[in-house]
Amino acid sequence: MSIRIDKGKCVRCGQCALVCPGGLIVQDEEKKAYIKYPKDCWGCAACLKECKVGAIKYFLGADIGGKGVYLYTLDEQDFLHWFIVNNDIQHRMTSNKRESNKY
Amino acid sequence: MVLKPCKMALKPEILKTDILIVGGGTAGCFSAITIAENSKAKVLIAEKAHIKRSGCLAAGVNALNAYINPGESPESYVEYVKKDAEGIIREDLVYSLAKKLNQVTQKLEEMGLPILKDAKGDYVSRGKRNIKINGENIKPLLAQAVQAKKNVQILNGVNIIDYIVQGQRVSGAYGFSLKKNLFYVIYAKAVICTTGGAAGLYKPNNPGFSRHKMWYSPFNTGAGYAMGIRAGAEMTSLEMRFIALRCKDTIAPTGTIAQGVRARQINSLGQEYVKQYGVKAGAEASTPQRLYATVLENREGRGPCYLQTRGITEEQEQGLYKAYLNMAPAQTLKWVEQSRGPGSDNVEIEGTEPYVVGGHAASGYWLNGQCMTTLQGLFAAGDVAGGSPKKYVTGCLAEGEIAALAALQYIGIDDGVVMLEQSLIQAKVDAVNLYFRNEPGLYGLEEVEEAMQKVMDEYAGGISVGYTVSRAKLQIAAQRIEELLEISKTLRAADLHDLLTIHEIIDRLYVCKVLIAHLEARKETRWLCYQQNADFPNKDNVHWRKYVNSRYENGEVKILLREIVKRDEVYEHSY
């Protein structure tokens, strides 16, 4: 379980590094964020939700069944869009932040 | 001794406040809000990460599981917790927080938490004590409420390492910054410890790359327990560990599936198996019973075990996808990645490694009726506070409120904090700076952590031994943990993150040491899996319907047995 940050997409805002509950994300000399301690990620997805440009890929480690598929999010006011990318296929799920879980 | 010059060294910085809150998670944030709403006292929250997403609620939470639904009462809540915890609870503490559960829930709703309601505007229940929410954003909402309070100062990126103890009272804490080379000495008239419990004591389910894909926050490393232990505070019930029953690999919650779509636990032969393991007819199986049954089914060769979800409707499957995104997105990712959702495949389940966590089990500080520890001026709330299991999120909020009000009352009668001698402060800074001076030794941080987790797994009742302990094995564990405590003094920090890791390892070693003593002390089996003693496999109500408490004195763990505190008792410490 971990994340990887797309350096090309990162806009140097530093928000992911700020919220990571483990302090695992740091910014390099160009202020681009990267995960310095990938094995220490809890998988909480706090960083994803901060990223306005969808630069953070959240994936399952191969040791827990990961096969290369990843997830990222985009925030749109009351909605949070979750994108799961499997090769060229992209699944989108949207949760309404104001709506409660049914289960 | 001549100290070698070194690049890194911390410099002391002195701060003063009225009430110091150690840890800005669920309980800590609510304590701060309570103080701000009831007084003009200055509050300082020291948080090692950032309060927006720190603590157990980082990813969100699936439901509120401690709420008094219509037909239930605070009294029935106490009875339920008492039964589930086999009688070893502080009935007084559970009762006082139970009376506040609904009121703190309403406050969460006012902060903006979505709670599912029916047409009449009443909360929809998910069982006797549960209500349905969208808990994805719960921590940012709490953090926002704290940030709006003017007299609350938040120090993000500060790790507290020990209390300032003067005689029998706590008057602040020491810590260091994770951003600048600063060593903090924070004086306070009262301290509220809300650091959370301890994960990472035992070898985890996924010991490799995904080692932190665990149930409890891997960043909760028992700092609050360890600081209390080192300061000589009395601790209770550490032997009542908590082990969760979770979805395999992702270690995501099972309750959402079990309660949400009424899925049953089945073995690989398709048989329902839980009832065969001592569940009384008509009764609901307790968490340890469901876990124990799963461990035994696997041992008998009838594993893997599953939650039977095959055949749920498309709508239910979509509902589960969304529910998991809001609290454990790895599970939804797994379903989509495998192209097999819960409607097509049953969900495999497994028990986690044991944790020490007072929000689910009863382990933590021994408190008076107002959440004050045996050290004057030190209060505790949330997962670090003992005696009140199954308090979950809302119980932590309620306890945070109780501790805050008690701390306020305490500082009202306080006659001031005495400043420390400069030499004392310097000695404490030097001790921490030593880790920057240590030469690289044979063992690095990861090796010591792995060694601790392996010892605890094999000799103190981890996953590999089916959670069972015995005196002979515990004694080996005690010896090894002692050796690792020695080794930990030689660890070298190259930067502030390393310094944090070293403290997290040392704190966990202290918790292990006391946990082992507690496990050895309880000469019966009170709880399946949580505390299962091979030497004494039965429950013994005649001798052991008692709390196992401890105090750390001169390097030794002293065990004390105490009688059960009843619901309407007013419990005070005797000094």
Q: How confident is the model at residue A46 (pLDDT cuts 50, 70, 90)?
A: very high
Please list every residue in chain A whose beta carbon sits closer than 8 Å to the beta carbon of residue B53.
19-21, 44, 46
Cβ-Cβ contacts under 8 Å, A98 against chain B: 114, 134
> What is the CATH architecture of B245-351?
Alpha-Beta Complex (3.90)
CA distances for B309 relative to B59, B132, B145, B304, B321, angstroms: 24, 20, 39, 15, 13
Q: Give the gap in angstroms from C-alpha A7 to the nearest C-alpha of chain B.
A: 22
pLDDT band of residue A88 (cuts 50, 70, 90) is confident
User: Which residues of chain A make contact with B116, given a CB cutoff of 8 A?
Assistant: 100-102
Domains of chain A: 2-96 (3.30.70.20)
Q: How far is A90 from chain B (nearest CA, A)?
A: 11
- Best mutation target among B313, B336, B495 (most A Cβ atoms within 10 Å) is B336
Query: Rounded to whole angstroms, how far apart are CA atoms A34 and A24?
Result: 9
Average pLDDT, chain A: 95
Instruction: Give the distance from residue A30's alpha carbon to the nearest chain B alpha carbon, in angstroms.
Output: 18
Q: What is the pLDDT of residue B4?
A: 54
- Give residue limits of the domains in chain B: 245-351, 435-541
Q: What is the pLDDT of residue B3?
A: 53
CATH annotation of B435-541: 1.20.58.100
Distances (CA, A) of B174 to B158, B429, B431: 10, 9, 12
Q: How far apart are CA B90 and CA B100, in angstroms?
A: 16
Q: Strands B63-64 and B131-132, how do they pair?
A: antiparallel
B444 touches chain A (CB under 8 A): no
**Is the Cβ of B313 closer than 8 Å to some Cβ of chain A?**
no
How many helices (H) and strands (E) chain A has is answered by 2, 7
Residue B2 has pLDDT above 70, yes or no: no
Model confidence over B509-558: pLDDT tens digits? 999 999 999 999 999 999 999 999 999 999 999 999 999 999 999 999 99
Return the percentage of chain B with pLDDT > 90, whole number. 92
Residues in chain B within 8 Å Cβ distance of A100 = 114-116, 132-134
> Does the interface predicted TM-score (ipTM) exceed 0.90?
yes
Strand B169-177 and strand B158-166: the pairing is antiparallel
In tens, the pLDDT along B276-322 reads 998 888 888 888 999 999 999 999 999 999 999 999 999 999 999 99
C-alpha span between A82 and B57 (Å, rounded) = 19
The predicted pLDDT at position B281 comes to: 81
Read off the pLDDT of residues B355-387 as tens digits, 9 standing for 90 and up. 999 999 999 999 999 999 999 999 999 999 999
What is the average per-residue pLDDT within B487-496?
97
* Tokens at B226, concatenated: 């360890």
Query: In this structure, what is the dihedral angle of CA atoms B505, B511, B514, B519, given to the nearest 10 degrees?
Result: -110
A18–chain B nearest CA distance, Å: 7
Classify residue B87 by burial, with Cβ atoms within 10 Å: 0-12, 13-18, 19+: middle
Reply yes or no on whether the pLDDT at B7 is more than 80: no
Closest CB to B133 among A71, A84, A101: A101
pLDDT over 70 percentage in chain B: 98
Dump pLDDT digits (tens) for B92-103.
Answer: 999 999 999 999
Nearest Cα neighbor of B175 from B163, B166, B167, B193 is: B163
Q: Is the pLDDT of residue B169 over 70?
A: yes
Q: Which residues of A touch B329 (CB under 8 A)?
A: 43, 45, 58, 71, 82
Q: Would you state the pLDDT for residue B97?
A: 98
Question: What integer pLDDT is reported at residue B417 of this predicted model?
Answer: 80
Chain A nearest CA to B11, separation (Å): 22
Examine the pLDDT at B1 and tell me if it is beyond 60.
Answer: no
Contacts of B392 (CB under 8 A, 6+ apart): B64, B65, B66, B359, B360
Contact of B260 with chain A, judged by CB distance below 8 Å, is answered with: yes
Q: Which residues of chain B lie closer than 8 angstroms to A75, CB-CB?
A: none
